[in-house]
Amino acid sequence: MIALLINGGNAQQLQICYKNVGSTMIQQPEKIDCQIPKASTIQPVEVNLYVKRRVPAEVEAIKCSAKMETKCKTTLFYKEIDGDTYEKTLEVSPGKCRKLADQYLKDNKEHQTSEIPKIEEKFVGEKCGTATNYFLTKGKIAHTPDGHLISDLSHLHGCDNNKEACEMETQTIIWEAFDPVQLCPYVKAGSYQGLLAHPSEDEPEVAYLILDALQAAFLFSTEPMEDKWNLKLKFNFRDCQQDPKENNL
Pairing between β-strand 79-90 and β-strand 186-197 as defined by DSSP bridges: unpaired
Q: Is residue 93 part of a domain?
A: yes
Specify whether 149 is located in the same domain as 109: yes
pLDDT, tens only, 107-126 = 889 999 999 888 877 777 78
Domains held by the chain: number:
2
182, 209, 232 - which closes a domain: 182
Q: Other CB atoms closer than 10 Å to residue 110's CB: what's the count?
A: 12
pLDDT, tens only, 196-245 = 887 766 666 678 888 988 888 887 776 665 545 444 445 555 666 554 44
Judge contact between 204 and 196, C-beta under 8 A: no
Q: Is residue 3 part of a domain?
A: no
Per-residue confidence (pLDDT) for residue 40, from 0 to 100 = 55
Specify whether 46 is located in the same domain as 64: no
What does pLDDT average to over the chain? 78
> What is the model's pTM?
0.62
Residues in the chain: 249
pLDDT band at 169 (very low <50, low <70, confident <90, very high): confident
| Segments forming the whole domain that contains residue 168 | 57-182
Per-residue confidence (pLDDT) for residue 74, from 0 to 100 = 82
Specify whether 197 is located in the same domain as 214: yes
Contacts 24+ apart (CB under 8 A), 144-152: 144/56, 145/52, 145/53, 145/54, 145/55, 145/56, 145/185, 147/233, 150/56, 151/61
Per-residue confidence (pLDDT) for residue 19, from 0 to 100 = 59
